[in-house]
Amino acid sequence: MIQALLFAIFVGVFSCFAEETPPNVVLIISDDQGYADYHFMGHEMIKTPQIDKLASQSLVYERGYVTTAVCAPSLATILTGLSPHRHGWTGNDPVKDVGDWSTRQSWVDRFAGNPQLPQLLAERGYLSLHTGKYWQGDPKSVSGFTDSMGETNRHGSEYSLGIGRETMQPIWDFIQKAQDQRKPFMVWYAPFMPHDPHTPPERLEQKYIGMGADQPAAKYYGMCEWFDETCGELLDHLEDKGLTEKTIIVTICDNGYGARMGSRGNVKASPYELGVRTPIMVKWPGKVAPKMDKENLASNLDILPTVLAACGIEIPDVAEGINLLDHDAVAKRRHLFLENYTVDMIAVDNPGAALRARSIVSNVWKLTIWREPHHLLKTHRWQIEIPEQKVELFDLQADPLEGRNLAEQNPETVEELQRKLDAWWNPVP
């Protein structure tokens, strides 16, 4: 009788311990990929069988967004859970002396003062690995990664940008290290894919040419499938190591891509849907039921609070997003706010100096308020043409590619949405 009682107590204690064991975390972040450029999102030609399978096992927010459609500030928002005007990294480079690391240090110093996901996880015993893209120099000292592929200076070193394209071994080695030390881990898988240079394996390029794509499209489509293959390798490795059930996987893209896919020229660095939308997916076996959510809004602001909540870690008060696994919070959300800048940054103490546009997105409406660019950047690279009408209102349900501006026909809606937008952030010109 006593032995049975002791055994029951042991099982109970062990079960509680098992339930409290925090999950591992894998962030899969594609680079310059259109939101519809996955087979599961409806692309008729691009094949993405591995991500399609992942989507079928995930809670998928089809109406996911990034705060701004440029690589560095988008990734910085994932790390901090803050909008670019709050974390301070609004573009890719300082406007002067691009590529000179010394001119970036003031931005790095400001950015390093933000709470960041790897740092917050490390405080609770997590190991974390940076691979691929990272814009603030040293992933360890600036963001708190415990392991990395080395300093990146700008967006990555030749070594770190080789992840996926050349090797996955650093991830395999890191996972083994975490297992040897019996520690939970986070993997930041942010490969330079399908970002140009579009250099897919010849077999993939020829596959899409054979399907009728022209060569530029075939190269890009091949990159999307190549990225998909590397995701399959990562997912298979987790399975082989017996980690699938113990890992939460979050998938997102940093911004949209492409000129041929929309009616407004190049969409990168653009506030239009093709620039800022991305599916956002969360897979957590036994914890999250698979679902395709076509209505509710999600944001890259939500990655930090979602991961921290899953890991049982307190979310910083400054975080702006919500836990995407909190169904009540998701259902209560009525708007998302977006901000768009020139690709180069102007003033570290004035993020609004490089502002191009602010947007507010609801379930139906999207309002964008444009502003003339700073004089330093009027003819600079990656300049997105400002429309003649500086106020644009679109019905996203009826007009998802934003072809018809309804601002003049709906002045009351414009006024209401702009009031909300200004209450969120109204920079002085």
* Model pLDDT, residue 101: 58
Please report, to the nearest 10 degrees, the dihedral formed by the alpha carbons of residues 69, 70, 75, 81 taken in order.
Answer: -50
For residue 326, the model assigns a pLDDT of 98
Q: Determine how many CB atoms are found less than 10 A away from the CB of residue 231.
A: 24
Residue 399 half-sphere exposure toward CB, CA atoms < 13 A: 13
Positive or negative, the CA dihedral 205, 211, 217, 220 is: negative
- pLDDT score at 305: 98
Q: What is the pLDDT of residues 196-215, one digit of tens each?
A: 999 999 999 999 999 999 99
Listed in sequence order, the residues at least 6 apart from 418 whose beta carbon sits closer than 8 Å to its beta carbon are 360, 367, 369, 391
- Spans in the chain with pLDDT lower than 70: 1-20, 97-102, 258-266, 376-384, 429
The CATH code belonging to domain 23-326 is 3.40.720.10
Q: What is the predicted pLDDT for the residue at 428?
A: 72
CB atoms within 10 A of CB 228: 23
285-314 pLDDT per residue, tens: 999 999 999 999 999 999 999 999 999 999
pLDDT at residue 103, as a whole number: 78
Of residues 308, 233, 275, the one with CA closest to residue 79: 308
Give me the half-sphere count of Cα atoms (radius 13 Å) on the Cβ side of residue 113.
9
Region class of 27: left (phi > 0), else alpha (psi between -120 and 50), else beta: beta
Under 8 Å between Cβ of 120 and 316: yes
Q: Computed from CA positions of residues 189, 195, 199, 205, in that sequence, does the dihedral angle turn out positive or negative? A: positive
